A and B are shown apart, each in its own frame.
Chain A
Amino acid sequence: MVKNRVVCYFSASQSEQPIIFRLARDYDLVINIIKADINPQKEGYLVVELSGDKQSYENGLNYLRDLGVRVEPLSQTVVWHEDVCIQCGACTSFCPTGALVITDRETMEVTFDNEKCIVCAMCLDCCPTRAVELHFEVA
C-alpha cells in the first residue's frame, strides 16, 4: 500500500477532463480531495491524498503525467506562526482533525500538530491575526 499527498497543477484543457474519475475507476486509487481551486482561466490545482497498491499508484501517477498534469509531492503545508498567534482559540472549533487544538482547558493554550493537519485551510479564514499560513512546500 502507498499513501501520499500530492499537488496536481493542471491547465485549462486538462481541467475539462474527468481525471479524478479515471484515477478511481481505471487505477483503483482511493482519492481524498483536500483542497482544490480553479481560477477564471480554468487553470488550477488539486491537493489530493492518493492511496492504493504500489503498482496502481505508479500507473495512476504516470497517467497524470502523460496528460501533462504536473504532479508534485506535498509536505508541511500549513505553517502556524506561534509568535503571531494570540491564543484566542477560534481556529480550534474549525479544525476537523484536532491539529490546532486546546488540549488543556485550564490554560486554554492552543497548540498545532502538523502530523494531524490535512490542509483544509479552514483555520486561515477564521484566524483574526492571520497566524496560520498555507505553504506549498514540495519535497
Chain B
Amino acid sequence: MAVKRTYEEINEKIRKGQAVVVTAEEVIGLVEEKGYTRAAQEIDVVTTGTFGPMCSSGVMINFGHSNPRIKMKRVWLNGVEAYGGLAAVDAYIGATQLPDNDPENKVYPGKFTYGGGHVIHDLVARKPLRLEAISYGTDCYPRKKLETVITLDDVNEAYLFNPRNAYQNYNCAVNLGDRTIYTYMGVLKPRMGNASYSTSGQLSPLLNDPYYRTTGIGTRIFLGGGVGYVAWYGTQHHPNVPRGENGVPLTGAGTLAVIGDLKQMSPEWLVGASFIGYGATLFVGIGVPIPILDEEMLRYTAVKDEEIFCPVVDYSEGYPYCKPNDLGSVNYRDLRSGRVNILGKEVPTTPMSSYPRARKIAQILKEWIQSGRFEITCPVQPLPSADADIVFRSIPERGVNDLNNRR
C-alpha cells in the first residue's frame, strides 16, 4: 500500500509530539538503509537548510512618529540610506546599500566594511542605531530634520522582506582571465585558480523540492532564526530550465520571496557581510520543512550532492559581458571535496555558503517540529513550476529616438 499523508494528518502528529522528522542529510542514510518505500512510511517531515549571502534582502520599518511629525523624504540608519518613498515614517533598508561617503571601488578593490546588511545585523542584535531623516515640511508634517538613536525595540514594525532568496542551484564561478577579480562569488584567482560555489547542495530547500510541490505561497519556514513565510515566488524565478532525470535543475532556477517579523529573529542567522571589490550584503539563514506526502516527495528529499549539477561560468568575461561559454558542469560532491576537475584541470574550490550552518538550521527546524512548536502549512497557492512559460528577460537598450517616434 503506497503511503499517502495529508498536511493535516502530519500536523496532528506534530501536535501530539509523534511526528518523525529527519534532516535532508539524515534522510539519505535512512533511504540507503531501508529503501524508499519503508523510509516513506516512517518519515513525516524532512527539514532543509541554507545559510548564504543573499543580496536581495531587506527590512521594512515603521519608525513611529516624532513630535512634531516628519514625512521622511530621505532617511539613514548608521549613515546607510533606506528607501523612504513610502508613507511618512515607513522605510525599506536594503542589504547592499552603502553609506553615502563609502569609497566604493575608488581604491580598488574596495573593502565595503559597512552597508545595509550590517545595519540589519546590528538592528536584529538590538544595538543602538543612529537614525537621521530630512524632509521639506508640510502642514501636517512640519518637521524638516530628525536625528536620534533607536533600537529594534523602539520601532513599531520591522519585518524582513527578501524579494529573492534560496536560489535553487547556482553557478560555479571561475576566472579565465589573467588577473585576480573580485566578484559577488568572492575572490577569483586568475587562470582558473579557484572555483567558487554557493549552495548547501543536498541540504538546500529547493533542491529537495525540485518542482515546488510542497513549497508555495504561505509556506511557514525558518527565517533568520525565527519563523517566516514564503510570500511569493522570488524575483528571477525561472523554473522552466533544463533538469536532470531526478527533476533537479541543472542551472539556477526557482527562487523564493520570504517575509517574517524581524523582532523574533537573531543576529546569528542574519549576518552582515563584505565582499571585497564587490559590496556589502547579508547572509540569511533559511530552512524549509518538506512534508512527506508520498513516496515521490521522499525520493526528492533523498537527493545527494553527487546527483546535483551546476554549470561552470567564467566571471572574467562570460558573466559580465553575457558571453555564453560552455565550461561544462560539476557536481556538489566534488565541489565539497575541495577540488574539482574543470576542462581537465584540478581546481581548488571556494565555498561561499556555509554548510555547517545549513546543517544546524535543518537541525533546529527539526527540533522545532518535533517539539510541536512549528506546524507545517499547505501552500495557499503553488509557485510556477517546470511547466510554466516564463521568459528570462534582459533590459532592452533603446535610443532616445525610439521613444520620440512612439509619441
Contacts and interface: CB of A to CB of B under 8 A. Distances in A.
B332 to A, nearest CB: 11
Interface in B22-50: none
Nearest to A109: B356
Contacts of A93: 194, 196, 338, 348-350
Nearest to B112: A128
B394 to A, nearest CB: 28
Interface in A69-92: 86-90, 92
A94 B182 CA distance: 14
Contact of A108 (B281, B348, B355): B355
Given A108-B336, A129-B271, A130-B113, A90 B352 contact: yes
Contacts of A129: 271-274, 283
Contacts of B354: 86-89, 108
B338 A102 contact: yes
A108 B276 contact: no
B356 A107 contact: yes
The DSSP consensus for interface residues of chain A is loop
A87 B349 contact: no
B127 to A, nearest CB: 15
Contact of B186 (A86, A90, A130): A90
Contacts of A130: 113, 274
Interface centre among A86, A109, A126, A128, by most chain B C-beta atoms within 10 angstroms, is A128
B145 interface: no
B355 A128 contact: no
B283 A128 contact: yes
B357 interface: yes
Contacts of A86: 51, 271, 283, 354, 357
Contacts of A128: 53, 186, 273-275, 281, 283, 352
A105 interface: yes
B276 A125 contact: yes
B262 to A, nearest CB: 19
Interface of B: 51-53, 109, 113, 186-187, 194, 196, 271-276, 281, 283, 336-338, 348-357, 359
Given A108-B356, A126-B187, 16 more contacts: A86-B283, A88-B52, A89-B350, A90-B351, A92-B338, A93-B348, A93-B350, A94-B187, A94-B194, A94-B350, A108-B354, A126-B186, A126-B276, A126-B350, A128-B352, A129-B274
25 contacts: A86-B51, A87-B354, A88-B52, A90-B186, A92-B351, A93-B338, A93-B350, A94-B350, A105-B336, A108-B336, A108-B351, A108-B355, A108-B356, A125-B109, A126-B187, A126-B276, A126-B350, A128-B186, A128-B275, A128-B283, A129-B271, A129-B273, A129-B274, A130-B113, A130-B274
